[in-house]
Amino acid sequence: MTVSIQLEVNGKPVQAAVEPRRLLVHFLREDLGLTGANIGCETSLCGACTVLVDGDAVKSCTMLAAQADGASVTTIEGLAQNGDLHPLQEGFWEKHGLQCGYCTPGMILSANYLLAQNPSPSDEEIREGLKGNICRCTGYHNIVEAVKYAAERMS
Amino acid sequence: MYPAQFDYRRAGSVDEALGLLQEHEDAKLMAGGHSLIPMMKLRLAQPPVVIDIGRLDELKGISEAGGSVRVGSLTTHADIAASDVLAAHCPVFAEAAGHIGDAQVRNRGTIGGNIAHADPGSDIPPVLVLLGASVHLQSPSGTRSVAAGDFFQDLLMTDVGEDEILTHVDVPALGSGTGSAYLKFEHPASGYAVVGAAAAVTVQDGRCTAAGLVVGGVGAVPTTVDVSSLVGTDLSDDAIAAAASGLDAEDPIGDIFASGDYRVHVGKVYGKRALAAARDRA
């Protein structure tokens, strides 16, 4: 069977018929070509697949596309506006918050959710807010700096 | 990893969900899907039909009435952790919910799915047992409630019947003079509790009048520790350590990360610390 879904992805309406077992991350990557959300651990641990669903950071490997029917989804592709990087993207660039970059889209969307909840987080609050995102390159120090950079510019 | 194929039904009301449950044998209810989808991806669960109850607003929300707090089964961990009502009346419940997984998991995972899944490493079950919560279930033949202490039956097994939906939990409010705390020894990768200790103590005129300690992660279901020896004491560190050392599990669970004996030992340590933290907040 297929399920008809209608949702908004990065501000654009999307209509599709999906298999019930289609995971949101596969729908985004393979059906819509939005490959920013990465598939890492596939077990809800690493956070590489994090996107925003109705403003909440969620792991798109642990959500059915059918569950996103009617929702507004934001991926990393939806953050830059008119070619201008989002302050978080700028922060990761300026503060060298990435090396291989695999975790970066998820990190940025989790940080985006964190800053929406708490516009000026402490270092500790940033680390706690990004607990669901694993980076194997940086040691997190520069990621925290990148989020602080963005928090300052967004306030 | 894909789940095995299944048919998907979305319920628009509790009654419709109950009807779909009757109609489809071996169907599973899905709320946030944060216990069920991982099980389905690992093919540990292969339900032929998934009934999505995630949009039933009637099962969402937190309210207080008559000295008791009602938490709808579809309430997310994030909403529980941030609840002013729970912070005022059952702070240990909100505290434990804030320890679950990470922000993304708390945004999707629900209290109903969490306790119906009954993972021994979950943070919520020991808290509900400690607080004397009741779990409310609805079936086509009516509603019933079961004490949290009886709800959890064994590893991943609960009292939920095949034709029932978990609608809400009722949690008695903690009275004045009562301090509570949840302390967790967390698995560094999964975020599950290796051991989680939930404690509450009531103090009047410098003397303990009631005390409770329930430890998760040691047994298949939450383990209640008899800490009645604390009643009448001034809750000295020595008295607390002696009471917490009463933790005993006949057949503790063990895995590659933590053996059963180790879990019992850590349970005693965290039980002691949780009691002391509860005392300091009373």
Q: Determine the average pLDDT of the residues in B129-140.
A: 98
Q: With 90 as the cut, is the pLDDT of residue B249 above it?
A: no
Q: With 90 as the cut, is the pLDDT of residue A149 above it?
A: yes
Tell whether B209 and B246 lie within a shared domain: yes
Give the residue on B whose Cα is nearest the Cα of A62.
B37
Q: Determine the average pLDDT of the residues in B38-43.
A: 97
Residue B35: give its domain's CATH number.
3.30.43.10
Residues B103, A114: C-beta atoms closer than 8 Å: yes
> Which pLDDT band holds residue A138 (cuts at 50, 70, 90)?
confident
Dihedral over Cα of B181, B185, B188, B191: its sign: negative
Answer yes or no: is B1 within a domain: no
Domain that holds residue B34: 7-52
Tell whether B167 and B228 lie within a shared domain: no
Residue B107: give its domain's CATH number.
3.30.465.10
Tell whether B217 and B236 lie within a shared domain: yes
Residues B104, A110: C-beta atoms closer than 8 Å: yes
Q: Kindly give the interhelix angle for A104-117 and A87-94, rounded to the nearest 10 degrees.
A: 120
Last residue of a domain, one of B172, B199, B221: B172
Three-class secondary structure of residue B157 per DSSP: strand
Q: Which fold has domain A87-154?
A: DNA polymerase; domain 1 (1.10.150)
Hey, what are B28's tokens? 């599973």
Q: With 90 as the cut, is the pLDDT of residue B1 above it?
A: no
Q: With 90 as the cut, is the pLDDT of residue A139 above it?
A: no
Q: Determine the average pLDDT of the residues in B228-254.
A: 96
Hey, what are B120's tokens? 């021994």
Share of residues in chain A with pLDDT > 70 (%): 100
- The domain locations on chain A are 3-78, 87-154
Answer yes or no: is B215 within a domain: yes
The answer regarding whether domain A3-78 maps to CATH 2.40.50.140 reads no
If you ran DSSP here, which 8-state letter would residue B282 be given? -
Kindly provide the b/e burial profile for residues A77-108, where b requires at least 16 CB atoms within 10 angstroms of the residue's own CB: bbbeeeeeebbbbbbbebbebbeeebbbbbbb
**How many contacts, defined by CB atoms under 8 Å, are there between A and B?**
80
The rounded mean pLDDT for chain A is: 97
How much is the pLDDT for B52? 98
Phi, psi (rounded to 5 degrees) for A47: 80, 5
pLDDT tens, residue by residue, B220-239: 999 999 999 999 999 999 99
How much is the pLDDT for A151? 98
Q: By the 8 A CB rule, do B50 and B6 touch?
A: yes
Residue A58 contacts B where some CB pair is shorter than 8 Å = yes
Q: With 90 as the cut, is the pLDDT of residue B5 above it?
A: yes
Burial of B21 (C-beta count, 10 Å sphere; 0-12/13-18/19+): buried
Q: With 90 as the cut, is the pLDDT of residue A18 above it?
A: yes
Dihedral over Cα of B98, B101, B104, B110: its sign: negative
Answer yes or no: is B265 within a domain: yes
Closest CA–CA distance from residue B228 to any residue of chain A (Å): 36
Tell whether B48 and B64 lie within a shared domain: no
Sheet with B28-30, edge to edge strand ranges: B7-10, B49-52, B28-30
Last residue of a domain, one of B172, B187, B207: B172
Q: What is this model's ipTM?
A: 0.97
Tell whether B127 and B202 lie within a shared domain: no
Provide the domain count of chain B: 3
Q: Determine the average pLDDT of the residues in B109-126.
A: 98
pLDDT tens, residue by residue, A35-70: 999 999 999 999 999 999 999 999 999 999 999 999
Residue whose structure tokens are 């202490």 = B149
pLDDT tens, residue by residue, B45-56: 999 999 999 999
Instruction: Sort out which chain A residues have CB atoms less than 8 A from B37's CB and list them.
Output: 23, 62-64
How much is the pLDDT for A102? 97
Kindly provide the b/e burial profile for residues B77-104, where b requires at least 16 CB atoms within 10 angstroms of the residue's own CB: bbbbbbbebbeebbbbbbbbbbbbbbbb
Tell whether B248 and B269 lie within a shared domain: yes
The partner residues of B201 in beta bridges, in order of sequence, read: B179, B211
